[in-house]
A and B are shown apart, each in its own frame.
Chain A
Amino acid sequence: SQTIHQWPATLVQPVGSPLSLECTVEGTSNPNLYWYRQAAGRGLQLLFYSVGIGQISSEVPQNLSASRPQDRQFILSSKKLLLSDSGFYLCAWSLGRVEEKLFFGSGTQLSVL
């Protein structure tokens, strides 16, 4: 069966520090991969999605970037964090079929202080 791993679960970082969140999927090949962010009490904001290695689509211009160095690995990065980057970050995958179903990781709660 397929599983998705996301780490760390919580992270506290100072303003201006770098960020690297990693997500890996097991049990499937060539998944679509997604990064979402959820601010406190708000909905899910799509940040990036990827349909293959090295293929990244950005939905929200900001100081975050994403990379997909391997088929089942998705990394969210920042060179310098802002206070507004705080939130709950979720990685998700899908099979890329017309009848899309998203499967989410457990999330990373990021606090930028």
Chain B
Amino acid sequence: LAKTTQPISMDSYEGQEVNITCSHNNIATNDYITWYQQFPSQGPRFIIQGYKTKVTNEVASLFIPADRKSSTLSLPRVSLSDTAVYYCLIGGATNKLIFGTGTLLAVQP
């Protein structure tokens, strides 16, 4: 079962680009990489998902190197409302979806 490692916390300022990296050294061939955002007292919300290379949607980009042992969530021009906990989740090969500890992103004015 793929285990993930993320920084516990990160600080940023409004308008900056934020990159959060997740390590998943034992990712399985069939596993996808998914990132979630969680605000206090709410359930996590899907942000972006990818398998390899780069994926971009309206809120974020996801960069995955060729060996897939890590991934980087990129949030362009963050705002105060992006303050939240961000989780990367590796799964797909099994039905057991286990979250890591997450990264608390604090955006300051």
Contact = CB atoms under 8 A, between A and B. Distances in A.
B101 A104 contact: no
A34 B92 CA distance: 14
A44 B34 contact: no
B29 to A, nearest CB: 10
Interface residues of B, number: 25
Interface residues of A, number: 27
Interface stretch (B10-18, B42-50, B62-70, B74-82): B42-50
A49 B95 contact: yes
Contacts of A104: 43-45
Nearest to B31: A98
B45 A44 contact: no
Interface of A is mostly: strand
B97 A100 contact: yes
A15 to B, nearest CB: 23
B93 interface: yes
B84 to A, nearest CB: 13
B99 A90 contact: no
A18 to B, nearest CB: 24
Interface string A72-107: 000000000000000010101010111111111111
Interface of A: 32, 34, 36, 43-44, 46, 49, 51, 57, 59, 88, 90, 92, 94, 96-107, 109
30 contacts: A32-B95, A34-B97, A43-B100, A43-B101, A44-B44, A46-B97, A46-B99, A51-B95, A57-B95, A59-B98, A88-B41, A90-B43, A94-B97, A96-B95, A98-B30, A98-B32, A98-B92, A99-B51, A99-B92, A100-B95, A101-B34, A102-B36, A102-B44, A102-B89, A104-B43, A104-B44, A104-B45, A107-B41, A107-B43, A109-B41
